[in-house]
Amino acid sequence: MSRMTMIEAIRNAQHVAMSRDEDVVVYGEDVGYFGGVFRCTQGLQEAFGPSRCFDSPINESGIIGTAIGMAAYGLRPCVEIQFADYMYPGYDQLTQEAARIRYRSNGDFTTPMTVRMPTGGGIYGGQTHSQSPEALFAHVCGLKTVLPSNPYDAKGLLIAAIEDDDPVIFLEPKRLYNGPFDGHHDRPVTPWSKDDLGEVPEDYYTIPLGKAAIRRPGTDVTILAYGTMVYVALAAVKETGIDAEIIDLRTILPLDIETIEASVRRTGRCLILHEATRTCGFGAELMAQVQEQCFYHLEAPISRVTGWDTPYPHAQEWHYFPGPKRVSAALCEIMEG
């Protein structure tokens, strides 16, 4: 066991996966020689050589397209898109090809590939470096979408993603890379080294895709969150004293509806959180499914706190970000309902 940041855990996961299977290759912009702009691939080229960890030109479409070809012929590429905001040139390849090869070929070919990308805001990245596009992947049949919230999960889920026989989108909340940021942007963040979830085994382990985790058991209300919003939820719970059960979805597709359903049936209330914009965000799908499964157990309308329906602003980052204040207010409101 050792303490790792999320960056170290992601690096270590790729190292473990590459050691176990020589068909795993890692590439992307600045990934090889430079070790990645967030240092998530640092040391992999030294350890495995430039044929297994290498740089690509600035070609998101090319990165994803070539990964599909490699994957269809037996490799297991794990590619990095430097920021989720840069994924759009490769979105066509992801949705029309990666997500569809299994179906289209009647299962003759699959595309076991992982696409890693940092997601979310909190670093004053502005419009083109802060977006949370998870719903755009979840909406496409044929992709799995994973979004870990801590180093331990990140490692186990990333190895599972690489070993998975289908294409997996692996979104890394960049604001969590170094510690569990809870939305209090004016306070220092506790580093992962001081958090139990920063405790990561050096060896191989996996966390199954499609399984949520209960971060905090509670009885009053169920909060559904993933990524950074898990910590915002924890902060809001602490500040309001409301005994909420916080479910960290970890994988948004496939969705662990059983865990969600069991919790909401117990608490009778449900608050959904995400940083992405509201309209057609993943919260809309969660609301629909909770309503379908738990309607007769609900004691208040399901509600959600999300980013606003605006582009991600630069200066007004903290007006946009659904921080603890907004979540606390929603918690209080749902308890009155």
Partner 1 sequence: MTDSATIQGEAIDKSDVTIEGEVTLPADMREDMLKYYKEMLLIRRFEEKAGQLYGMGEIAGFCHLYIGQEAVVTGVQAVLEDKDQVITGYRDHGHMLACGMSPGGVMAELTGRADGLSRGKGGSMHMFSREKNFFGGHGIVGAQVPLGTGLAFANKYKNNGAVCATYFGDGAANQGQVYEAFNMASLWNLPVVYIIENNHYAMGTSVERSSAETELYKRGISFEIAGKMVDGMDVFAVREAASEAVDHARQGKGPFILEMNTYRYRGHSMSDPAKYRKREEVDDIRSHRDPIEGLKKQILAAELSDEAHLKEIDKEIRAQVKAAADFALESPEPDAKELWTDVLKPVEA
Ligand X SMILES: Cc1ncc(C[n+]2csc(CCOP(=O)(O)OP(=O)(O)O)c2C)c(N)n1
Helix, strand, coil shares of the chain, percent, nearest 5, are 40, 20, 40
Report how many residues bind ligand X under the rule CB under 6 A. Answer: 6
129 noted as active-site residue: yes
Alpha-carbon gap, residue 164 to 187, rounded angstroms: 39
The one catalytic residue in 15, 129, 139, 185 is 129
User: Does 134 engage in binding with ligand X (CB under 6 A)?
Assistant: no
Half-sphere exposure of 36 (CA within 13 A, CB side): 25
Angle, helix 324-336 to helix 229-240, in steps of 10 degrees: 60
Contact map string, positions 87 to 126, toward ligand X, x by CB under 6 A: --x-------------------------------------
Q: CB-wise, 118 or 122, nearer to ligand X?
A: 118
Closest separation in Å from C-beta 71 to ligand X: 22
Residue with tokens 């794990």: 78
State yes or no: residue 5 binds ligand X (CB under 6 A). Answer: no
Beta-ladder partners of 55: 28
Check: CB of residue 177 under 8 Å from CB of residue 121: no
Site for partner 1 in 32-51 (CB under 8 A): 33-34, 37
- Provide the pairing of β-strand 199-200 with 2-3: antiparallel
With the CA atoms of 81, 84, 90 and 93 taken in that order, what torsion angle do they form, in degrees rounded to the nearest 10?
A: 100
Of 158-166, 171-179, 201-209, 311-319, the segment contacting partner 1 by CB under 8 A is: 311-319
Q: Which residue is nearest to ligand X (CB)?
A: 86
Q: Are 252 and 283 in contact (CB under 8 A)?
A: no
Could you tell me the CA-to-CA distances from 336 to 218, 221, 272, 305, 332 in Å, in that order? 17, 11, 17, 16, 7
The helix or strand, by DSSP H or E, that contains position 286, with its residue range, turns out to be helix 282-294
Minimal distance in Å, beta carbon 85 to ligand X? 7
Q: Nearest 5°: phi and psi at 221? A: -160, 150
Candidate segments 46-54, 82-90, 196-204, 205-213, binder of ligand X by CB under 6 A: 82-90
Span near partner 1 by CB under 8 A; candidates 82-90, 150-158, 224-232, 325-333:
82-90
For position 86 contacting ligand X by CB under 6 A, the verdict is yes
**Shortest distance, CB of residue 115 to ligand X, whole angstroms?**
14
**Residue 2: which of ligand X, partner 1, none does it interact with, CB under 5 to 8 A by kind?**
none
Asked if 329 is part of the footprint of ligand X (rule: CB under 6 A), the reply reads no
Least Å distance, CB 241 to partner 1, is 28
3-state class of 233 per DSSP? Answer: helix
* Helix, strand, or coil (residue 234): helix
**Out of 77, 112, 118, 125, the residue judged to bind partner 1 by CB under 8 A:** 125
Which of 23, 308, 325, 326 touches partner 1 (CB under 8 A)?
A: 308
Residue 279 binds partner 1 (CB under 8 A): no
- Cβ–Cβ < 8 Å for 6, 19: no
220 binds, among ligand X, partner 1, none (CB under 5 to 8 A by kind): none
Which residues belong to the active site?
Answer: 129
Could you list the residues that contact partner 1 (CB under 8 A)?
29-30, 33-34, 37, 55-59, 61-62, 85-86, 88-89, 123-129, 308-311, 313-316, 319-320
Could you list the residues that contact ligand X (CB under 6 A)?
29, 58, 60, 82, 86, 89
